[in-house]
Structure formats: C-alpha cells, structure tokens
Structure 1
C-alpha cells in the first residue's frame, strides 16, 4: 500500500487523508483507524500530519462567518428600528445615522471576536486525541510458560522466552497482535473481525481457529502451523519472494531465513505438544535441541569444542526434569554432562 512509505509531507498533500481530517465519515474513519493499527511505526508521522492540517484549518475565516455577520447585523438593525418606532418623538437624521453606525460596529465586533476566538481555539496547542489504542504486553521468561486471555475471548499460551503485544481493546474491524517467540492461539471466532498475528517476517490471518506461530529473533526458522481451522500466511518483508499460503489442520508454512526459502508442508500434530508441557523433537540437530532446552529450563549450555552440533536426535519428554532429558541425549550422543546451578557443561570424551 502506498501509504506505508509516506512522510509527514506526503500525508498532508494526500487528498483522501485531508478529507478524513477535515470531514471524517464512517468509511474513512474506519479505514484510517485500521491502517494505523496495522502500521504502528507510522503513528508519529500520521499524527503530526493530522495536527498540522488541524492547525491550518482555520487560517482564514470560515465561509459561514459572512452569513453570520449579515444575520447579526440584520437582527441588531431590526431591534433598533423597533425601539425607535416605539419612541414618542421623531428621530433626527443624526440620531438615526448614529444608531445604524453603532449597530454595524457592534455586529462587526461580535463577528470579528467570534472569528478570533475560533482561530485561537484551533491554533492552541491542544492535545490531539490519539487513535492508537493502549497497548498491553505479556512476557514469559526462560523456564516458564504463561497463559493469557484477550478481551475478545481468545486464549494465548506463550512458550518460554516469548512476548506478545496487543491492544487493550480491539477495533471494530480487526484484531491484531504482535508476537516475538512462540505462542499457541485459540482464537474466538468473529467473522466480522479477522484475527492477525504479526511477526517481523510473516503475518497470519484467521477468523477462528487454533494454531501456533514460532518466530524467535535468534533463530533462522519461522513456522506457522495449524491445529484446526484455516489460516492465511503472508510475508511481511522483502527477504523472500512474495507468498501467500492458506493452511488447514496439520499443515504449516516454514520460512528459512538462511536459505531465503519458504515451503508449505504437512506437519506432525506433536508440533503443538509444547503447550501441554511435552518436549518433542524429531531428527533435529543438537544445536537446535540445546536452544530449546535453554529456554525450557532457563539454563545456559556450554559444550566442548569436539562436540558435533550437527548430530541429529529424536525424542519426546513429558514433564521430565532436565537431568532426565540430558541423560537420554547423552546416551544417544555418547557424551557426558555436568549441571552446576543454571549452567550445563557438555563434555565429549
């Protein structure tokens, strides 16, 4: 969309934007509120442009001042004539001329004063009502998972070392949240307001479904997987060719930032097992498994140089201790380990 690259000057010169600031209607109001919700990084530019247009709006007296002037003048003159007619004596030409002059001066003063007050009010540095709703944030630390509910009834479970930002109250046209890390969503169905999960690289859009999004900033793989319902996935940057996937249950979009590739494929239902406190990995390299364990148990894993991080392992552990998981891995990988406080040392004989 062209507005995404707009500067403050571009907004000020845009006819549709100016019409919305000066004379908003239901359609334009909904459009711009939705647009700023979807592009929070442009809030400052948009609000500055809006404030400038409002400040300039009454640099000249509005058109209705002229009609107001005539109406006020006629009312004063009418009143003046009525009072003169009730007087028992005749008015001299001088008296009549004086009365009309006074009436005109009063009328001009009233209109001028009104214009000044109006202009002053508009040009005062008054706070502009913010269109952006108050944003809330939930964070899960390493070694913990949290569950939160949104105001629309949607349930979100955050995996370890993850965060989610969302408006305190959704708009009338959409529900947008921002994720860093991994989360499982059980979205409350609402056919009039799509639910959108935004990450740095992808956007997932649904109406009502259950799915997971994994997008840790320190990993080169981003994943959107659907447990039930239907999800539309699009890219949010220019790193890969533009794509749009529609996923159904047990399908996922996999984005590889190293290879700059994206694929749509079937997925094992166990990919959602983490939300039920199950660690599951299948044919995964040791370096990826260690990263999972570091988040899961809030530890730092340090390995000797002769350990092959590309060795691949498979396993499933439900509510197991770190020691139990390491014991199984050590048996497969033929290495030893030592746990000291929050650090794990991997030793290859």
Structure 2
C-alpha cells in the first residue's frame, strides 16, 4: 500500500488556484455592481452564491484535499465568498434606497390639487319613513295626494272651520306671506298642516275619497330638541258612506302594528279640533314597555314615563261644516281624518333624542339608518 501523498500541492487543482479564485470573486463583484434593480440582483445572487455557482463548486473541491492543504484552500475560498456576500448586502441596500426614492417621486400625490370627489350621500331617514307610511296605506287602497306649501288662507283655515279669531291665525303660530303693500294681509300663508290637501282632494276627486297627504309644513316655533319651524307631517282622510269612529280606530291600530310590530294598539282620548267632531287625541301603546311599567316601580320606563302610552297625534270624525265647505252632503257622507308629525314618529321608532339632529343634514346621522325594503 502506498503512503499518503504529503507532497500534494492544492495550487495544482485548477479550481483552487489563487488566480482562479480571484477571477471568480471579481466576476461576482462585477455582476453585483452591474445589477440595475432588485430583481436583477436576485438573479446575480443565485448565479454567484447558489449551489451551482463557481465559488460553491470550488468549495466542494476542498474536501478531496489532504489535511495539510485544506486550511489554506478553505481560507482562500472563504474570503472570496465573504467578499461576495458583503458586496451583495451593500448593493441591496443601495437598490432599495433607489427604489424608495423613485416611488416617492413616481407615486407622489399633490395634496394641493382641487378636491374632485364628492363623498357618497345617504337617503334621509325621514324620506324612508315617509315612504314606508305611504306603502302601508296604499296597500289599504288609499291614494297619495299632494298640494302647494304656499297656500291660501281659505284652504288652510276657513274651509277647515277655523273661526276668524282662532289663535292659529296669529303670526305667533303662522308664517304669512307678505302682501303687495308690505303687510301680512295677503291671504296667503305657509301651510301650517297638510289638511289643505284634504280640502283640495274633496274638491277635485269623485267620492268616495281615501287619501294620505304627506308633506312639509311650517310653524312659528323655535328650533330645539323637540320643535322645529319646518317639519314633515302626514294626514289621512277617508270620506264615504257610513264611516264611523270604529273605522278610524281600526285604521290606527293597523298603522301602529305595521310600524312597530304585533301587539301594538291605540287609544282615543276626547279633545277638540275645529275640523273634526267628535275629536280625539290618539295615543299608542308604549313600544318599549308595552304598558308593563304602569304601577310597576321595579320596571320604570323612561320612554313613556311609566304611563304605558305615547301621544301620537290628533284625529276624529270630519266636521260636517268641512264637508259642506267642500260641497259634500254631510247627511249622506261621513269621514274620518288623523295627522301626526313624521319626525316625532321617527324619534319614537328609532330612539332619536334631539330633533336638531334630524334637520341639520349631517350624513353621519343619516348613514346608520341604512335602507328599508
């Protein structure tokens, strides 16, 4: 058996010669310096540091050397590979900095440019609720009637049996349109209710008449948490042969069930309105406690103050004088009517505490209501 080859010179191995290692290192450094972007640098890294790169293949040759030759060859290859890795890291930092600087320029946004986008709006909940109320009554056979908001006093007061000295005719309650001489005796007002639409319906339509009249009305009120000078109202008028208060009560019960759910009902308390006789205040069962808070100190209800009922609006049998003013025979026909504020209904239905939120037009108030189908 031959003795170990102690005179083996690793310089004689082609891949491990100093000039060969230096050439591999120089080629790798040149390729790194020439990489123009991070993607090109990735390819260079694979070509010069991957498992099939020249320096990696040279490193494999070290294992075949005798022990006394491995140290010098390993040092030579290790230094070359270290230099390549350092150059790769440095070039990556440079290319990343160049990329970030380029992105800042190419994707910059000029915040001083005119704002050309409008934020999406939203359907106002008053409109949504008004449409829902209309749907309830049109499903019962009623028609939607409309009329002018600037109205003659005759339609707004006289035809509805308001006497000349009624307080509602005063400027403290009503907005009068200025006359030609600058006074308020023009005979024209901003309607204080949608009842003039009922008068117009009786004058223009064939009997029987079943109409619902939603719309905007005006009162001389201050804007606060529970009042507003401009608000939405809806009124109903039914005139036919043989209509009674019982028909009115059934209609009211159907309305509150449709708006607030099963189990809701209404009650009527005697009152007085010029345009109805008999007249009543309409209350509905409290939609929160359903009357269970009455006489129950252990379960108080803030919504109805533990009374069990919430006032909703006025109603009654149409006054014969109103029918006569519209040319309707009160001996043959009778009818009923009621009206309420839609804002008030919305405050009940959605627990809105301040009416000013409804009228200020802030989309942040409107958006949470979404839509109803």
Which of 1 and 2 has greater Rg? 2
Indicate the structure with greater helix content.
2
Indicate the structure with greater strand content.
1
Q: What's the TM-score once normalised by structure 1's chain length? A: 0.24
Q: What's the TM-score once normalised by structure 2's chain length? A: 0.23
Structure of higher RCO (CA pairs closer than 8 Å, 6+ residues apart) = 2
